[in-house]
Every structure is written in C-alpha cells, then in structure tokens.
Amino acid sequence: MSNVIEQLEARRAAARMGGGQKRIDAQHSKGRLTARERLDVLLDEDSFEELDMFVEHNCADFGMADQKFLGDGVVTGSGTVNGRLVFVFSQDFTVFGGSLSERHAQKICKVMDMAMKVGAPVIGLNDSGGARIQEGVASLGGYAEVFQRNVLASGVVPQLSLIMGPCAGGAVYSPAMTDFIFMVKDSSYMFVTGPDVVKTVTNELVSQEELGGAVTHTTKSGVADVAFDNDIEALLAARDFVDFLPENNRSPVPERPTADDWDRIEPSLDTIVPDSANQPYDMHEVIRKTVDEGDFFELQPAHAGNILIGFARIEGRTVGIVANQPMVLAGCLDINSSKKAARFVRFCDAFEIPIVTFVDVPGFLPGVAQEHSGIIKHGAKLLFAYAEATVPKITVITRKAYGGAYDVMASKHLRGDLNYAWPTAEIAVMGAKGAVEIIFRGKTPEEIAERTAEYEGRFANPFVAASKGFIDEVIMPHSTRRRVALGLRKLRNKSLENPWKKHDNIPL
C-alpha cells in the first residue's frame, strides 16, 4: 500500500511541476505567475480541489507521443472565494505554451458543465498560445465545445475571464462571450490576427501591445473591462468582484453586513449641481455618497467615460449602477456609451440585480460620424435593455433629461419602478435656447431672450413631469440614499414577467 501511495504522490508532484522548472523560471522572468500560483492567490487558502490532474493528450503525430505532461496544459477544479463556491480553470503556459488540445478542452468543458449543474460562477484564467497545431481540427473542435458552453452558461451562471498572457486567434472568442474580462498591462493581449499577419495583409506595422494589449482593449475597443498592473492585483480584484455577483440566475444577490446607516444624510449633495447648466460635476461623487461605504466597483472606467457602470451595495445588497457623467462629453449618449451600458443592464437583469440609474443627459451626441456609424441602432440597444429588464429599477434625475435620451435612461415609460428627481432636474424635449429658436424662428434677439426665460421657467424644473406622474417624487438630494434604500426594500419581492418568447431580437 505504501508503494502505491508513493507513486500517487510522485505523480502529483510531477503534475504540479507543469512543464518543468526551466519553463516555470521563464514564466516568472516575464513577471507572470504560474497557473497554480494564480489559483493560490484567487481562491481561499486550501479550498482548491483539482479535477483531471492526470489527464494527458491523445495525439501521436509529429512526435507528440513522446511529449506528455500530466494535466495537459490546464489546471481545473473548484474552490471558494470568500467562502462561496466557484469553478475555475487556469491555463498553464509552461506546458506546450498553454495551447489547447482536445483533452485540454474536455477538462475545461467538464468544469463548465459542473458549474451549470450546481449553479456556481466560472472563472477562467487565460494564458495560451492558441490551438495546438499538432492536433489540427481536433483542437479546433475543442474550442467550439468550449464556445458552446459559454453560450449555454450565459445568463445562467456568471462567467469571468482573466487574460494573463497571450490569447490569440480563435481563443479570443471564449472570453468575448463571458460576462466580464480583466487584463494585465504589458503582460496580456488579445487579437484575432497577430502583428505579423496584419503586416503581411495590410502592410500596417503594429506591436502586440498596440494591437491587442490591456490598455488598447480597456480604452479603445471596450473588449475588456479593467486593466491591472500585475497578476496579483488582477486576481485580488477578481476576489472582490466575485463578491458582488450572485451564484446563479436563481440565487438572490449576495449580502454582507454594513455599518453604513441606510438613512444617512449627505448635505453636500444639496450643492453638488452647479448653478450654471453648462458647468460639469463629477457623478462619481454622487454615486459614492449614495452607496454603502462609498464602495463602487467601476467597470470599463477608461472606455466611454460619458457613462459610468459598475456594482455597489445598498444595505449590504448588490445593486448595478448606471450613471451619465457630465465631466465627459457633457454626459451625452453616443455609440460606445450605449453599448457599454446596454450590456451591463442586460447582465443585471439576467441575474436579478436591481438597477439604480443616475441621469444627467443632454441628449444623444450629434455628428456625421455618429449617424453614419449607426447611433440609431446602437442607441436602441440601451433603450431595449432597459425596456425588457424586469428587475427593480430606480431612477434619480439630478439635472438634465432631454429628448429621446430622457426616455432611454430608465424613464417611467420603460417600466421604471421609482423615478425620482432632484429640484435641479430639467426634463424637456431639448434645452431652452434651442427650443425657443425653433418655436419662435425669425423673432428678434430681444424676443428670443424673453421667450427663453419663459421656456426655462416652464420646463427647467421637474414639476411638469411630476404633475403628469412621470416623476414619482421630487426629493432633496441629501436624502437620495434613504430614498433609494427604502425603494429597494419595497421592490425586493417585485414580480414582473415579459410575454413568452424563445428569445428577443435585440438590435445588434
């Protein structure tokens, strides 16, 4: 018996070494942790239970029969994050560059299947050179098997991808279909075709970092959500982030104790909106002074900054936050901000996370480029997302809510449950000056000025909308947290269903 146990321990030790010490050292020299070290940081201590440690590839071509490593380039299993169950896979770059083989894919599929059966989040740590070329179409088939599970798991269990090294070619589509993507600066990259192919086909010279690095994808493309400085920072952020997410689409949002009083008054909010309608203020301040302990986990902070999205807590329970940001493009909605917010709203709705919306929007961004790039259809995504959402929706209009953008931003007409306005709110078809110049075209400047003052007196306030029932209450800014907390309590047992359908057809 002791001999068998020794053999088992020897095999386990060999599996833990991955591709060997030399390759582990090479991984460390790039500033990257190994697959197992990453799991040690991500998961609670001693909580990881590995599956398929002894799996080997089944390829006999190109001398592969003589090159076998236990685990076949990916570490899979389950563990806990702050005591809550998650399923994980961590690709091991020290084994064949983390390339995906048929068996490697089967390991990933197994943990994804188990996650869906028991209802627990899936966290994937990606560090792979792509498909294992020696296996040919078997490797491509493995990718497709993973993609299929990404789709089936979407909206059932939360899926988080951490890109911690290369992720190229077909490999990028699995993270792209997960709910959130974290990347590491100067260490991870994603692209469908690499710099060499780009140079050959289009004659463009571009580095890996410029083409698909963490900064590129969190600022320009919006493919990734947040970029971190190193592996450890990304993994610790993932631990915090998972704490906001429910385990699955049938579980309630997580709840944590808080010492922050639900009825805390914030007098500073009474003066945050400037006297001048053209002067910006930072919506981050409004959010942080409303939520528990000022804790706001912002997503895509460097992309489409004219809208803010992220998770926070009210009375210890997770809420999704969507807010226009007057500091960027005056808070106008454009293509990128509409797409950014729409996907977030749909995620919240899929997992029964209440949505709190702060509105200060002068309209959609005008311009030829926006129109020709499809602002109509992209703007409709956000409208569609809010309209179909059945979760509790609370809206607070802080200042401007003009035109179609008023409708889009979780208005009462899109089944908003509680729609509040501050006394500084202005709800109208458009700004006073533009409206008067259209209505009273041809009048003298003096008459225009007089009519503008009249229009402002009539519409530059929330009371016309309130008189029609479109605003439930005009509230004092300092009581925003109290009102939102009470509203969420009332709506906790909200029941609303959309008509039966196989699925909707959101304007993509």
Catalytic residue among 119, 305, 403, 404: 404
Is 384 in contact with 458 (CB distance < 8 Å)? no
Catalytic residue among 79, 97, 169, 487: 169
Pairing of strands 122-126, 159-163: parallel
Distance in angstroms (rounded) separating the CA atoms of residues 35 and 146: 19
Helix H or strand E encompassing 231: helix 231-242
Tokens coding 350: 């899929």
- What would the DSSP string read from start to end of 169-187? GGGGHHHHHSSEEEEETTT
63 is annotated as an active-site residue: no
405 is annotated as an active-site residue: yes
Catalytic residue among 14, 26, 138, 170: 170
Catalytic residue among 227, 405, 432, 466: 405
Distance in angstroms (rounded) separating the CA atoms of residues 405 and 411: 9
What is the DSSP-derived secondary structure letter of residue 366?
A: P
What is the DSSP-derived secondary structure letter of residue 365?
A: P
What is the DSSP-derived secondary structure letter of residue 220?
A: T
170 is annotated as an active-site residue: yes
Pairing of strands 355-361, 418-421: unpaired
- What would the DSSP string read from start to end of 136-161? THHHHHHHHHHHHHHHHHTTTS-EEE
Distance in angstroms (rounded) separating the CA atoms of residues 93 and 183: 16
442 is annotated as an active-site residue: no
* Exposed/middle/buried for residue 497 (C-beta within 10 Å: 0-12, 13-18, 19+): exposed
Give the residue numbers annotated as catalytic, written as ranges: 169-170, 404-405
